[in-house]
Amino acid sequence: MKTEEVKKLDKKYVIHTYKRIPLVLVKGKGTKVWDSEGKEYLDFVAGIAVNGLGHCHPKVVKAIQEQVAQLIHISNLYYIEPQVKLAKLVADNSFGNKSFFCNSGAEANEAAIKLSRKYGKGKRYEIICMEGSFHGRTLATLTATGQEKYRKGYAPLAPGFKIVPFNDLEKAAEAINDRTVAVMLEPIQGEGGINVAGDKYLKGIRRLCDENDLLLILDEIQCGMGRTGKLFSYKHYGIEPDIMTLAKSLGGGFPIGAMIAKERIASHFSPGDHASTFGGNPLACSAACAAIEAILEEKLIENAAQVGNYFIEKLKELKKKYSFIKDVRGKGLMIGVELDFEGKDIVSKCQEKGILINCTVDRVLRFVPPLIVTREEVDQVVTTLDKIFKNKK
Ligand SMILES: *Cc1c(COP(=O)(O)O)cnc(C)c1O
């Protein structure tokens, strides 16, 4: 199909919930994608941190191809071999020894919210969430989301959530009452503009949770899976959560979500308490097993840390040159550049020059490239930005 035809059909038949960039992407390999006219792009959006291994990673492709010919779906009424393999792989590499699988980030957070309420035994149910957070688009997860734009028009929202300022330990402590059961946050806020939780802050939140018997729920849907230079971001802080949610990169591009919990918390769910028809299906779990193995075997966490540091250094050099750059922040390959003007023009100029980047909260350029990215590719992006910024002055 021609680009114009796809655009026309989209307009006519697809519900208009997305403001699309006028590009039809039809093929991907590694850090590159191609549009329907054959133009090549270096992809620093990576499906918003979904294609952590790059596009069509050979191990993930092989795992999916083998599984798809063997068994695509089977009900959770039965045991599922790829599901137990994935659960063990997660347990071997994280704090959490028990997993529940679903199909998206919002569903993973829903599961975390429901498990917390079970833990609260009907007496405690309130969850403290953060300003600037993003936890998904279902009614409960958007109520947990501390950004007005996602909630507007959906009242009445779900009860039981309290939003406090991010990185403010005192405000979190003040929000605790008899009904509080959990604190939920992203170690690095993604949609909120790449805001990194401070070291003292997250340790302090852990302490608050311990002192008040609250569950610490870390949403690592965007910042997990090696992106920040550790397999999971909590590992930067020397603490462990009670519950962690994953999705985005977990399946190497294939849709899957997971809620991971410590055994003593997970045991508050009994058979029948929660379920998902597609959750933990053989195909998704095979893809996710291959993705985790590839991340570990190919030393992609180390690459994310090294190339990420290099990228941040280079961007900080740009900040010295251009006073309109307010801040450069992030960890590993989850990086934000805050501008003092709206970033959408920069995004489209990059696109003209064959580079896909993204902008969040209007003014923060967001870089979440695949973990396989090289220094040379980072140089290409930084040089292009430098040229675009020079014309902006
Ligand atoms: C993307 C995202 C979600 C929602 O995931 P979906 O798969 O779109 O439901 C939740 N939390 C964070 C931190 C995210 O980045």
Q: Which of 248, 314, 331, 349 is catalytic?
A: 248
Cα of 49 vs centre of ligand 1, distance in Å, is 10
What pLDDT is stored for residue 162 in this prediction? 98
The protein residue with its alpha carbon nearest to ligand 1, atom 11, reads 135
Q: Is residue 134 annotated as a catalytic residue, yes or no?
A: yes
Query: Is 3-56+299-392 assigned to CATH 3.90.1150.10?
Result: yes
> Which residues fall within 8 angstroms of residue 385, CB to CB, at 6 or more apart?
318, 346, 350
Name the residue of 191, 232, 243 whose CB sits within 8 Å of the most ligand 1 atoms, as the mutation to test its pocket.
191
What pLDDT is stored for residue 310 in this prediction? 98
Asked if 250 contacts 286 with a C-beta cutoff of 8 angstroms, the reply is: no
Q: How far is CA 318 from CA 344, 368, 373, 379, in A?
A: 18, 18, 20, 12
Asked if 127 contacts 181 with a C-beta cutoff of 8 angstroms, the reply is: yes
What pLDDT is stored for residue 307 in this prediction? 98
Model confidence at 370, pLDDT cuts 50, 70, 90, reads very high
Whether the CB of 135 sits within 6 Å of ligand 1: yes
For residues 137-151, give the mean pLDDT.
97
Cα of 285 vs centre of ligand 1, distance in Å, is 19
Name the residue of 104, 107, 248 whose CB sits within 8 Å of the most ligand 1 atoms, as the mutation to test its pocket.
248
Dihedral, CA atoms, 142, 143, 149, 154, nearest 10 degrees? 90
Cα diameter, the chain: 62
What pLDDT is stored for residue 266 in this prediction? 98
Whether the CB of 104 sits within 6 Å of ligand 1: yes
Whether the CB of 133 sits within 6 Å of ligand 1: no
Does the structure show a pLDDT above 90 at 20? yes
For the segment 275-309, what is each residue's pLDDT rounded down to a tens digit? 999 999 999 999 999 999 999 999 999 999 999 99
Proportion of the chain above pLDDT 70, given as a percent: 100
Task: Give the strand pairing for 334-339 and 364-367.
Answer: antiparallel
For residues 56-74, give the mean pLDDT.
98
Q: Which of 134, 166, 232, 311 is catalytic?
A: 134
Cα of 109 vs centre of ligand 1, distance in Å, is 9
Global pTM value = 0.98
Cα of 48 vs centre of ligand 1, distance in Å, is 10
Q: Is residue 248 annotated as a catalytic residue, yes or no?
A: yes
Ligand 1 atom at shortest distance from the alpha carbon of 255: 7
- In the chain, where are the structural domains located? 3-56+299-392, 58-297
Whether the CB of 106 sits within 6 Å of ligand 1: yes
What pLDDT is stored for residue 214 in this prediction? 98
Domains 3-56+299-392 and 58-297 share a fold: no
Model confidence at 392, pLDDT cuts 50, 70, 90, reads confident
The protein residue with its alpha carbon nearest to ligand 1, atom 6, reads 105
Query: Burial, 47: exposed, middle or buried (Cβ in 10 Å; 0-12, 13-18, 19+)?
Result: middle
Please, what is the Cα angle at 88 between 239 and 207, to 5 degrees? 15
What pLDDT is stored for residue 143 in this prediction? 98
Mean pLDDT of all residues belonging to the chain: 97
Does the structure show a pLDDT above 80 at 206? yes
* C-alpha closest to that of 159 among 132, 175, 139, 178: 139
What pLDDT is stored for residue 369 in this prediction? 98
CATH C-level class of 58-297: alpha beta
For the segment 327-367, what is each residue's pLDDT rounded down to a tens digit? 999 999 999 999 999 999 999 999 999 999 999 999 999 99
For residues 81-98, give the mean pLDDT.
98
Cα of 237 vs centre of ligand 1, distance in Å, is 22
Does the structure show a pLDDT above 80 at 177? yes
Ligand 1 atom at shortest distance from the alpha carbon of 49: 15
Whether the CB of 136 sits within 6 Å of ligand 1: yes
Proportion of the chain above pLDDT 90, given as a percent: 99
Cα of 326 vs centre of ligand 1, distance in Å, is 26
What pLDDT is stored for residue 312 in this prediction? 98
Does the structure show a pLDDT above 80 at 393? no
